[in-house]
Amino acid sequence: MSAPTVLVTGASGMLGGAVATALRDRGATVRAFQRRPAGIDGVEDVCGSLTEADDVRRAVVGADAVVHLAAKVSISGPESEYRAINIGGTENVLDALRANGGGTLVNVSTPSAAHLGRAIVGLDATPADPERARGPYARTKAAAELLAMDADGDDGISVTSIRPHIVWGPGDTQLVGRIVDRAASGRLPLLDEGMALIDTTYVTNAADAIVAAHDRIADVHGQSFVISNGEPRTVRDVFAGWCEAAGVPAPTLRVPGSVARLAGRLIERVWEKRPGHDEPPMTEFLAEQMSTAHWFDQRRTRELLQWTPRVSMDEGNARLAEWFRAHPVV
């Protein structure tokens, strides 16, 4: 049997790169689709825009499967941009699969697609809810997940959605890098003493779960799964572990969660009119994420995907520390 050809969208990102590498190492023929070359040895780059249907169709031609990770991931910005990339891009992927005669799709979503601002304590994957999800990223990813799942079983397409929760690892500039930079400058608050209990996912564990979904899609198509390490820790402990790995002081600034949510709402309004050069220091969604418990029951996920995390939180922090020794915080 010949090796499958798998297209990975968004392979220039940390998780996308890990997925492309894992598939390559298992013998798949892997293509990477994004705006600029991913530069992964043994992986073919196909450059283009997710919002251009012709670009996406060109990338999908001849592929047996697509792992769709590319998205606009941020805590601020015009909702139109999120809609064009997250919803419109997913539509383009589905249309390209239809034109290709079908195939399998692992749609990489997010737990925030079903996070309604309340605590999530030991739940499985609940339905994506674009009407009540918090913030433009979550709303558009929820809509994109519903769009993808509605296509399951039609036109020769099989779809499953994987929602990795708070993915982190060495070289992560989106999350760990921002946390460490703000902690080093004394600008990282702990909301409600940082006592909210949260799950996170080490990057190679998330990649392994996505590959498992690809392998088992005949059995799990039509279903959504939340992925995590299954080791809930307090926000304070998670941040402290990353800061220790980077060699910077853990955050000591304390802010009530209610105050941060109000401040985030006000900052968002100011940012809409006068955006800064970087993301805003706080948004209502970010304040909710930092002050609300969100951890998940992983039993169904592990049973059906036949997957378990290989890297513990402590081992992940040790690998992170090794990376920071080679790339010290300036």
Phi-psi category of residue 71: left, alpha or beta, with phi > 0 → left and psi -120 to 50 → alpha: beta
- How would you label 210-234 residue by residue, b for 16+ Cβ within 10 Å and e otherwise? bbbbbbebeebbebbbbbbbbbbbb
Q: Are strands 233-234 and 253-255 parallel, antiparallel or unpaired?
A: unpaired
Tokens of 327: 């790339």
137 is catalytic: yes
One of 33, 82, 137, 324 is an active-site residue; which one?
137
Cβ(292)–Cβ(119) below 8 Å = yes
> What does DSSP assign to residue 83?
I
Q: Are strands 294-296 and 120-123 parallel, antiparallel or unpaired?
A: parallel
SS3 category, 296: strand
Alpha carbon 321 to its chain centroid, in Å, reads: 22
Residue 294 CA to residue 118 CA, distance in Å, equals: 9
E strand map for the chain:
5-9, 29-34, 44-47, 65-68, 103-108, 120-123, 157-164, 167-168, 189-191, 197-198, 201-202, 224-227, 233-234, 253-255, 294-296
Alpha carbon 12 to its chain centroid, in Å, reads: 13
Catalytic residues: 137
